[in-house]
Amino acid sequence: MSILSLKDGNPVRNQAEQIPWPQKAPAACPISAVKARLRSVGLRPTRQRMALGWLLFAKGDRHVSAEMLYEEALRAREPLSLATVYNTLRQFSEAGLLRQVSVSGPKTFFDTNVSEHHHFYNEDDETVVDIPGSEIQVSGLPVAPDGMMVSSVEVIVRLRRADGEETVTKVAGGRRA
């Protein structure tokens, strides 16, 4: 599954070309679908965007930080700088391909699932996972100020080990009891 095959103009595009985006079967994600997805939001499918788009969207829904994606690109032998990864993630977010999830301080995750949903944040291993929509109900929301409306509500439920190990030394801004 090397993404290096992108550059020789001979991508594997046998099956599943017709699968609509987004599709949930990681193995079936063709390169052409990534390309089409970029074009659909007006982004030219440059080699860098294709490489990162493949890493992001070919594995089903996921939550990644810029640093995580950078590491993946290195492992895939993609010669990208961290700055390029940041810029590309920002472009994808502005185009609506990704949703940003801010969990603590400057730490931002990028979510390939752009529908409204909520998250668990594990403070021990600093990972983000979805809370299935049916498992949380938000009530008692404040009335929006005059002229404003609530556009969305995002809940982040912070987790730590129940036995109290480990997390005591972690610094996490905005920690709630």
Among 108, 122, 130, 172, the residue binding Zn ion under the rule CB under 5 A is 130
Q: Which of 35, 152, 22, 29 is nearest to 100 (CA)?
A: 152
Task: Please state the closest distance from residue 58 (CB atom) to Zn ion, in A.
Answer: 17
Least distance in angstroms from the C-beta of 146 to Zn ion: 32
- Give the contact letters, 86-125, x = binds to Zn ion (CB under 5 A), - = no: -------------------------x-x------------
Q: Are 31 and 50 in contact (CB under 8 A)?
A: yes
Q: How far is the CB of 5 from Zn ion (least distance, A)?
A: 29
- The runs of H, that is alpha helices, within 18-61 are 31-40, 47-57
Please, which residue, 123 or 130, has the CB nearer to Zn ion? 130
45 Cβ neighbours under 8 A, 6+ residues apart = 34, 35, 38, 39, 53
Instruction: Point out which residues bind Zn ion (CB under 5 A).
Output: 111, 113, 130
